[in-house]
């Protein structure tokens, strides 16, 4: 209910126009890699992607945004811990779509920033 209401509100406020969105298939292992220009990026993806999508969040970011993350599927990872990748791989191999923000922070240039070793 909340998700549907927010989607309707965001489509009205931001004039969202999806092109060829129906071509995306999430019936197998899927990893969505997104740039991160705004905090709204994650909200848009949450509203538009399948409801079982899992968002990967750095533990520090997850603490700051726990109020939002409680409404969506997510895992907290320590980017310096190599075992964190195993959790992500298990979720992907189970067929659940996973969203990663490889820059690990909001882009200050509007372009792709450095991708850190942990996410690489």
List residues with catalytic annotation: 36
User: What whole-number distance in Å separates Cα of residue 111 and Cα of residue 120?
Assistant: 18
103, 35 contact by CB (below 8 A): yes
Contact partners, residue 43, CB within 8 Å, separation at least 6: 6, 10, 68
What's the sign of the alpha-carbon dihedral 99, 79, 102, 120? Answer: negative
Strand partners, 55: 74, 99
Element (H, E) at 56: strand 54-58
């Amino acid at each position: 209910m909340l998700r549907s209401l927010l989607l309707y509100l965001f489509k009205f406020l931001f004039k969202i126009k999806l092109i060829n969105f129906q071509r995306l298939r999430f019936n197998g292992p899927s990893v969505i890699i997104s740039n991160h220009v705004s905090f709204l990026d994650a909200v848009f993806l949450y509203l538009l992607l399948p409801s079982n999508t899992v968002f990967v969040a750095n533990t520090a970011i997850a603490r700051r945004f726990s109020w939002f993350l409680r409404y969506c599927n997510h895992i907290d990872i320590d980017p310096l811990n190599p075992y964190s990748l195993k959790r992500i791989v298990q979720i992907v191999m189970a067929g659940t779509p996973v969203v990663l923000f490889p820059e690990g922070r909001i882009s200050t240039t509007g372009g792709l920033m450095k991708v850190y070793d942990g996410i690489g």
